[in-house]
């Protein structure tokens, strides 16, 4: 990503808005943008989802490969989550090898899904020590107007829930749906104008400071946390964010499970 010029005016404007409890698009501090989820939309993927959050649009696609289990875990298959933000998604994203930003994105989303244990890797084993399924979740940004993290995480879990193991194509029995036992959901918060807001837009990210990502599983179990960018936050701020995340994750889980 090229380093965008952060206009001091934008930061000042965001600080003014925060004082008046307002945001660039008139949302409240804890309001998210309209979120739309579609599944089964990609013809060649074994599972897929598209998430639209305001002007942020992402795709997720699931593919399967046969892998040799790792010697120390002969009874397990694998889950891999990879993320690419290509120049199509915004003028601030450049072509070339994956940037640290896009690697962080992929890894944070990966941790939330992996650590929730929603995919039982033991079930992916075909022949112990010889053959197992590797589930590959690819996240692809189409339009970045901020908060790719939450959009990717939502599309990712929805695509996994939509996935079918293509056993027939590999001549190992019948196609079966991939078992996904839980629904981890991520909520992200950015410090904008001196306070945390939920679901920041691109301009809020540009003129904001640190960010915090929280992934909660069913029953509000915490599965991943990440603090990104320069900035300092207090325990009280974190408590407030966590309370909001619990409520919002439950709403989004309804959309996925619905």
Binding of residue 38 to another protein (CB under 8 A): no
Binding of residue 97 to another protein (CB under 8 A): yes
The mark string for 198-217 relative to another protein (x by CB under 8 A, - otherwise) is: ----x---------------
Sheet holding 185-192, edge to edge: 195-198, 185-192, 211-216, 222-228
How far is Cα 151 from Cα 201, in angstroms, rounded to an integer?
A: 12
How far is Cα 34 from Cα 21, in angstroms, rounded to an integer?
A: 20
Residue from the set 112, 132, 145, 157 that interacts with another protein by CB under 8 A: 145
For the bound state, the minimum distance from the C-beta of residue 59 to another protein, rounded and expressed in Å, comes to: 7
For the bound state, the minimum distance from the C-beta of residue 58 to another protein, rounded and expressed in Å, comes to: 12
Binding of residue 62 to another protein (CB under 8 A): yes
Binding of residue 86 to another protein (CB under 8 A): yes
CA 28 to chain centre: 23
| CA angle, 123 then 72 then 98, to 5° | 80
Pair 46, 38: CB distance under 8 Å: no
Q: Which residues bind another protein (CB under 8 A)?
A: 2, 42-45, 48, 55, 57, 59, 61-63, 65, 82, 84, 86-91, 95, 97-98, 136, 138, 140, 142-145, 169, 202
């Amino acid at each position: 990503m090229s380093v965008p010029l952060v206009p001091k005016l934008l930061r000042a404007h965001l600080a003014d808005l925060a004082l008046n409890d307002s945001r660039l698009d008139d949302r409240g501090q804890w309001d998210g943008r309209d979120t739309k989820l579609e599944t089964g939309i990609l013809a060649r993927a074994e599972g897929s989802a598209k998430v639209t959050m305001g002007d942020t649009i992402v795709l997720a696609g699931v593919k399967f490969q046969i892998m040799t289990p790792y010697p120390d875990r002969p009874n397990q298959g694998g889950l891999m989550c990879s993320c690419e933000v290509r120049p199509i998604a915004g003028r601030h994203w450049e072509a070339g090898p994956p940037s640290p930003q896009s690697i962080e994105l992929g890894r944070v989303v990966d941790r939330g899904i992996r650590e929730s244990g929603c995919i039982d890797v033991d079930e992916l084993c075909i022949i112990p020590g010889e053959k197992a399924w590797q589930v590959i979740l690819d996240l692809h940004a189409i339009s970045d107007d901020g908060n790719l993290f939450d959009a990717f995480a939502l599309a990712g879990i929805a695509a996994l829930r939509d996935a079918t193991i293509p056993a027939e194509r590999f001549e190992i029995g019948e196609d079966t749906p991939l078992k996904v036992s839980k629904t981890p959901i991520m909520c992200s918060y950015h410090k904008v104008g001196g306070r945390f807001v939920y679901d920041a837009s691109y301009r809020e990210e540009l003129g904001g400071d640190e960010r915090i990502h929280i992934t909660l599983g069913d029953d509000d179990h915490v599965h991943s946390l990440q603090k990104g960018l320069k900035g300092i936050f207090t325990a009280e701020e974190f408590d407030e964010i966590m309370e909001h995340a619990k409520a919002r994750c439950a709403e989004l889980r309804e959309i996925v499970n619905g």
